[in-house]
Amino acid sequence: MTPLRRTPVAVAVLVALALAVGGYFVWRPTDESRIRSQLARLAAAVRVTEADQQANPLARLARVNGELDALFEPDARVTIPELTSGHADRRELATLVAGAPSYVRTFDVDFTSVTLKMDAAHTTAFVGATASVKAVERNGSASQDRRAVDLHFVAKDGAWVIRTLTVWTKEDASPQ
């Protein structure tokens, strides 16, 4: 190849490289979008479907444990007034979630009205949200609930993980 023929190829390679680098910085997920993705992942991890009624309880526990291990710090604290006495850890939460098909046919949570406050260093974030829950009880009756939820996320090894999760009672107001 002559030098004149190599020039367009080199220019094309440089343009492609510049577009790839520029695209990375333009379309890479922001910290906020990564935290919102973790909320969606948490909602999926605690979901109970009709299929879960027939699932092997040990397999469900293993799946839930794996998801919560990826979502929570090892020493995370979870407070859900109706389900935990005081502060539970992620293992207790996994046991509760895995056993949920014994109490409900279906359970679905959606996090809405999400507000996020991040520190300047982007190493910690406080999230306030509304958890909208829909469930079908074992007897077939449907129920719905809405609760304020506060989460404290920390950046660890390139991922956002939950340090604390607090579900507030209807009577209590979120302090944040």
pLDDT tens figures, 10-23: 666 656 565 555 55
**Among the listed residues 65, 52, 153, the one whose alpha carbon sits nearest the alpha carbon of residue 105:** 52
pLDDT tens figures, 148-175:
999 999 999 889 999 999 999 887 754 5
Question: Which tokens hold the place of 173?
Answer: 């107001």
Spatial separation of the C-alpha atoms in residues 2 and 130, rounded to whole Å: 65
Question: Which tokens hold the place of 107?
Answer: 């359970």
- Burial (Cβ within 10 Å: 0-12, 13-18, ≥19) of residue 79: middle
pLDDT tens figures, 40-69:
999 999 999 988 888 888 999 999 999 999
pLDDT score of 83: 77
User: Average pLDDT of 143-152?
Assistant: 95
- The torsion angles phi and psi of 175, rounded to 5 degrees, stand at -75, -15
Rounded to the nearest integer, the mean pLDDT of the chain is 86
Spatial separation of the C-alpha atoms in residues 78 and 88, rounded to whole Å: 5
Residue 110 confidence class, pLDDT cut points 50, 70, 90:
very high
**Percent of the chain at pLDDT above 70?**
81
